Amino acid sequence: MSATIIDGKLVAEKIKDEVREDVLNWISRGNRAPKLQVLLVGSDPASQTYVHAKTRDCGDVGIVSDTLILPDTVSQEEVCSVIHDFNEDPTIDGILVQLPLPDHITQLAIIESIDHRKDVDGFHPMNIGRLAIDQPAFKPCTPSGIMEIFKFYSIPVKGKHAVVVGASNIVGSPMAVMLSRENTTGKATTTICHKYTRDLTTHTINADILIVAVGVPSLIKSEMVKEGVVIIDVGINRLGDESLPKGYKLVGDTDFKEIVKKASYITPVPGGVGPMTRAMLMKNTLLAAKKSLYPTK
């Protein structure tokens, strides 16, 4: 079997083209351009790279973006105060706080301080709760991007056995909810695994669709999956490699070179899920500007 290598960049460009056209139509009707406000705490190189890519995508689709960088010594109260100002600013449609945060800052407290109507990451408890009961909400960008991949490649999900390895609030848990509940691209029978799961292979070997998001290089081996499985690898891990210009290479949570021989579809790392996450952020920011999910009274 020769797997179809899923081109996340291709799908992301399609989404971005749709957003770009919609933004132009929105502005042509007399509305201002949507605005995304980014908050970066500290100077983590990976976070800086992610923020740069997100703001570049904003420029590509006509969304205005602004980034405020605070030192990693800032207090939690100061961060919340800044976010309060963003919440009250009518020119800001979406707020994105780049994660992770310094250890002395409680991540949930920061997420909860964001107005859920501007929570374009889809992490606020209000949005997660509405997602769980199948109500309109901002959906976390990575899981919603994966659902778009299924739609683009006409990968059937309904009635399939989907296994999610990783139970984070950012990817794994909302992914499992969306797989089981989404009316148009979901309705799978879903199993969610985590670090306490005994004998992981007994679950992964039966998966029609396997989504892995744990941050462990090559955790999933070829013998752990069946022929024809659909593999979505969310992991992005840096492995040192002095032979490369950057001194490292990016690998996923699956053994790509071996599993590609058995899978029907598989995402590469990089170039698979990553571009989709950013594309869905653009889509959420436009939705926030339109106030279509949470209309103003």
**What phi, psi does 223 have (nearest 5°)?**
-70, -5
Give the single-character DSSP code of 124.
S
Q: What is the dihedral of CA 295, 278, 130, 66, to 10 degrees?
A: -50
Catalytic-residue membership of 35: no
Asked whether 237 and 252 are in contact (CB, 8 A), the reply is yes
What is the Cα–Cα distance from 53 to 141, expressed in whole angstroms?
15
3-class secondary-structure state, position 152: helix
Q: Of 54, 118, 139, 283, which residue is the catalytic one? A: 54
For residue 242, give the DSSP letter: T
Residue 199 annotated to the active site = no
Beta bridge partners of 64: 35
> Per the residue annotation, which of 57, 93, 121, 255 is the catalytic one?
121
Q: How far apart are the first and last CA of the chain?
A: 55
| Parallel, antiparallel or unpaired: strands 237-240 and 209-212 | unpaired
φ, ψ for residue 148, nearest 5 deg: -70, -35
Question: Do 23 and 62 contact (CB within 8 A), yes or no?
Answer: yes
- β-strand partners of 190: 162
Tokens of 125: 């408890």
Apex 33 CA angle, 30 and 36, nearest 5: 150
Distance CA 79, CA 83 (A): 6
Active-site residue, selected from the candidate residues 57, 93, 98, 283: 98
> In sequence order, what are the beta bridge partners of 165?
193, 212
- Catalytic status, residue 121: yes
Spatial contact of 276 and 12, defined as CB atoms under 8 Å apart: yes
Annotated catalytic sites, by residue?
54, 98, 121
